[in-house]
Amino acid sequence: MSRDWGSLFDVDTDPEDLLEHFDTEWFRGQRYRHLSDERHGIERGTALVDDVVVRGYPSMPRALVLESAIRETFDGPVAIEEKLNGYNVRVARIDGDLLAFTRSGFVCPYTTRKVEALLDAEAFFDEHPEQMLCGELVGPENPYTDHDYSEIDEVGFYVFGIRHRESGTPMGVERRLDQCVTYGLDSVDHYGTFTPTAAVDAARERIDDLNARGREGVVLKSTDGETALKYTTSAIHRADLEHAFELPFDYGRDFVFTRVMREAFQAVERGESAAAVRERAQALGEAILQPAVETIRAVDAGDPVGETHTVRGDPRTIDDLLSYFREQGLELHVEHDETVGEQRAVTFTKIAQSTRDKTRYYLEGGTIDE
Ligand code: ATP
Ligand code: MG
């Protein structure tokens, strides 16, 4: 612990002040620290394992109007990639072990095991010991998100960034794609590199296609990987709302305004007719109201409400994952738990306590001041 954190992070503040914001956690008997919120310009999710620094993945701006946001953001070639909907994972090799960090800098026991099984990254890390692989863990069997991709049966890990773990400096897009091919790592789809003007039409075409296939959207990047911009499909706005209004008192409020505005700007940029806007409005309304009605009925029937996930793996990993969630204060309801040979598969619900309790309260006659 003898490093000069102040100069390493390039911050003016007293390094002790900065370190105070890190939480201490343990993984396989090893102590590590992580930053669960951005502080002094250091990204959320930055972790310290002994004196190794793993920088957080930076937050990325979103375009509401593609054409003007592309013009304002980029002055050189723009690479367009698919934006996958799973969860952000950084993989680093520290003291010979692969560790998988979630967005907020936890070493997730389940993700670490999956990544060990999915990735053959030894050769990559032999060549690039100081780099980290940044990617999206996607697929139906994961404990955080539940977007289905027809090409994935369980889970997959798709690289969208290679960064220096200590400085966070990204590798350029072309080189990153090359490295993925060289080392046999799956990459997010790359749709080509365009001038900013051509990127507008290219992104719009991709968005139409992704929307029709129920996929999330695109990320546009400068070729050095430093600047990124995200833009998403109407299909994912509706899917997000459906998810949020399944658990209205946990997520509803935060989700609704942002998604409605994304839809509104998208309709305007596309110059939609009154009929097209009406169709969009109807779909949006259904995405909000129907799941809320179903949830109130479920609470009324005494069924558990929350996010349901299925995970599969060796019994110890599954045990570690469930304990890790319970330690974080989550209440879990196990629906299905089955071990076949070496594989344990568990379906569980992370109970949405606010939704359950508030819904019950109103169903039993509770009133509201509004
Ligand atoms: P923020 O970027 O503000 O933290 P967020 O955590 O809500 O937002 P998203 O809206 O999902 O995240 O957008 C950014 C995330 O998209 C990245 O952190 C990453 O996990 C994911 N992602 C998926 N595909 C890509 C890609 N091709 N390039 C970069 N990120 C991608
Ligand atoms: Mg995401």
Q: Is the CB of 85 under 6 A from ligand 1?
A: no
CA-nearest residue for atom 20, ligand 1, is 88
Q: Is the CB of 230 under 6 A from ligand 1?
A: yes
Give the residue, out of 219, 237, 258, with the most ligand 1 atoms within 8 A of its beta carbon, to mutate for a pocket test. Answer: 219
- In what order do the strands lie in the sheet containing 190-194? 190-194, 78-83, 217-222, 228-232
Atom number in ligand 1 closest to CA 85:
23
CATH topology assigned to domain 234-301: Methane Monooxygenase Hydroxylase; Chain G, domain 1 (1.20.58)
CA-nearest residue for atom 4, ligand 1, is 59
CA-nearest residue for atom 17, ligand 1, is 88
Atom number in ligand 1 closest to CA 82:
27
C-alpha 131 – ligand 1 centre gap (Å)? 19
Q: How far apart are CA 262 and CA 150, in angstroms?
A: 26
C-alpha 215 – ligand 1 centre gap (Å)? 14
Architecture of domain 20-232: 2-Layer Sandwich (3.30)
pTM (two decimals) = 0.93
Q: Is the CB of 57 under 6 A from ligand 1?
A: yes
Q: Which of 30, 114, 20, 162 is nearest to 11 (CA)?
A: 20
238-269 residues labelled b (16+ CB within 10 A) or e (exposed): bbbbbbbbbbbbbbbeebbeebeebbeebbeb
CA-nearest residue for atom 6, ligand 1, is 59
Q: Per-residue pLDDT for the chain (370 aa), expressed as one digit of tens each?
A: 557 776 677 777 777 788 889 999 999 889 999 999 998 889 999 999 988 999 999 999 999 999 999 999 999 999 999 999 999 999 999 999 999 999 999 999 899 999 999 999 999 999 999 999 999 999 888 899 888 898 998 889 999 999 999 999 999 999 999 999 999 999 999 999 999 999 999 999 999 999 999 999 999 999 999 999 999 999 999 999 999 999 999 987 878 999 999 999 999 999 999 999 999 999 999 999 999 999 999 999 999 999 999 999 999 889 989 998 998 899 999 999 999 899 999 999 999 999 999 999 999 999 988 8
pLDDT digits (tens, 9 = 90+) for 246-260: 999 998 787 899 999
Q: Is the CB of 59 under 6 A from ligand 1?
A: yes
Give the residue, out of 78, 90, 136, 229, with the most ligand 1 atoms within 8 A of its beta carbon, to mutate for a pocket test. Answer: 136
38 alpha carbon, closest ligand: 1
Give the residue, out of 38, 133, 220, 230, with the most ligand 1 atoms within 8 A of its beta carbon, to mutate for a pocket test. Answer: 230
Note the helical H segments in the chain.
5-9, 15-20, 66-73, 109-118, 122-127, 173-182, 196-212, 234-246, 253-269, 274-300, 315-327, 353-363
C-alpha 57 – ligand 2 centre gap (Å)? 12
C-alpha 370 – ligand 2 centre gap (Å)? 34
Q: Is the CB of 295 under 6 A from ligand 1?
A: no
Domain ranges of the chain: 20-232, 234-301, 306-351
Q: How far apart are CA 128 and CA 332, in angstroms?
A: 39
Q: Is the CB of 83 under 6 A from ligand 1?
A: yes
Q: Which amino acid is at 43?
A: E
Q: Which of 32, 37, 29 is nearest to 56 (CA)?
A: 37
